[in-house]
Amino acid sequence: MITNLIGKSVLVVEDNDKIRHLVGLYLKKEGYEVLEAKDGFEAKRMIEQYDPCILLLDLVLPKISGEEICVWLRNDLKSQMPIIMLTAKASEKERIHGFKLGADDYIVKPFSPGELMVRIEAVLRRTASRCNKISFSGLTIKPLKGEVKINGELLDLTNFEYRLLHVLMQHPDQILTRSQILSYIYENNEKTVTDRTIDVHIKNLREKLKKKTKTEYVETVRGMGYKFVGNQNYINYF
C-alpha cells in the first residue's frame, strides 16, 4: 500500500463496466478512495460534489464526451484537478490534442494496471499541494481549509472535534489510546482536557456524523481506545 497516498480520492470515468471495475479494484488495493461515473453527465456531478484528487477519464463517453469534460474543467471551473486520459486513440496527433485540452498524462488502451498505478502516483506527486485532504467512504477532511464534508455536505464541528477527527483519519484502522490522541492534538503537552474528556468529544462527534450518514466511522475498542474505520472497500456512490 502506498501509505503517503492513503485516503486520496480517484474518480474513474469509464462507460465499460468491466474496465471501470478492474481499475477500481487495483486502486482499492493500493489504498485509494474510489468513485465511479459511467458517463459524462455523472462525471460532472461527481466532480462538483466530491472534488476528487485525480480524474481517470475515458475520452469516448455517453451523453458528454471526455473532451468536453476537460474543456469544462479547465475553462469553466478553472480547476487544476489532474487528469489522466484513458483512450484507445493512440496516434501522436490525438495524444497532443489531449494534452492541449489539459490532460496531465495519457495512457492508451489496453494498458497494464501496474503502469496505470505508477502514472497515478507520479501525477499526484507533482500535484500534491492541490489535494491536501483525506477521504474515506464519503467522509473528507481538508486540513488547509479546516473543513469536513460528508458526501459533499459541510459538517459543522467544534475546533476540538475537528482536530480529533483529523487525528483519527490520519491513522486509519489503528487503535489509539486516549493519551495518544491527546499527545497528537497537543503536541507541546499543553493539555487542557483530561483523558476521559475524549469520551465526551467522541460521543458528540459520532452524533454529528450519524445525522449525515449511517456509516460508523469511529469504533470503540474496549479497554484500549478508539479506531477510525478506514473502509478501503470499493466505493460506488450510485
Domain harbouring 101, CATH code: 3.40.50.2300
Residues 156 and 196 both lie in one domain = yes
Please choose, from the candidates 5, 53, 9, 13, the residue with its C-alpha nearest in 3D space to the C-alpha of residue 34: 9
Shared domain check, 63 and 152:
no
Residues 62 and 28 in one domain: yes
**Residues of 175-207 as b/e, b for ≥16 C-beta within 10 angstroms?**
ebebebbbebbeeeeeeeeeeeebeebbeebee
Q: How far is CA 144 from CA 78, 133, 136, 197, 232, in A?
A: 19, 8, 18, 26, 24
Q: Which of 11-20, 82-91, 120-129, 184-193 reaches the highest mean pLDDT? A: 11-20
Residue 191, all three cell numbers:
493539555
Residue with the three cell numbers 488547509 = 144
The count of structural domains within the chain is 2
Q: Do the domain assignments include residue 52?
A: yes
CA angle at residue 114 from 87 to 85, to 5 degrees?
A: 20
What is the predicted pLDDT for the residue at 175?
94
Q: Is residue 236 part of a domain?
A: no
Q: With 90 as the cut, is the pLDDT of residue 83 above it?
A: yes
Among 100, 131, 162, where does a domain finish? 131
Mean pLDDT of 63-84: 91
Q: Which amino acid is at 37?
A: A
Rounded percentage of the chain residues whose pLDDT exceeds 70: 88
Rounded Cα distance, 103 and 213, in Å: 34
Three-state SS for 154?
strand
Task: Render pLDDT for 137-173 as a digit per residue (tens, 0 to 9).
Answer: 778 888 777 889 888 788 999 988 999 999 999 888 8
Going by pLDDT thresholds of 50, 70 and 90, the confidence category of residue 2 is very low
Q: Are residues 180 and 204 in the same domain?
A: yes
Does any domain span residue 108?
Answer: yes
The residue with cell 475515458 is: 58
141 and 103, same structural domain? no
In a domain, 51, yes or no: yes
- Domain containing 205 equals 137-228
Non-local CB neighbours of 112 within 8 Å, separated by 6+ positions: none
191 falls in which pLDDT band (50, 70, 90)?
low
Q: Is residue 63 part of a domain?
A: yes
Residue 11 in this model has a pLDDT that exceeds 90: yes
What average pLDDT does range 121-128 have in this prediction? 85
What pLDDT sits at residue 194? Answer: 67
The residue behind cell 463496466 is 17
Q: Are residues 71 and 185 in the same domain?
A: no
Same domain for 97 and 15: yes
Mean pLDDT of the chain: 83
Instruction: State the pLDDT confidence band at 136, using cuts at 50, 70 and 90.
Output: confident
Confirm whether 110 is domain-assigned.
yes
Query: All 3 cell numbers of residue 106?
Result: 495519457
Angle at 50 between CA 130 and CA 3, to 5 degrees: 55
Same domain, 180 and 142: yes
Regarding predicted confidence, which is higher, 186 or 188? Answer: 186
Neighbours of 135 (CB within 10 A): 26
User: Taking the mean position of all CA atoms in its chain, how far away is CA 62?
Assistant: 25
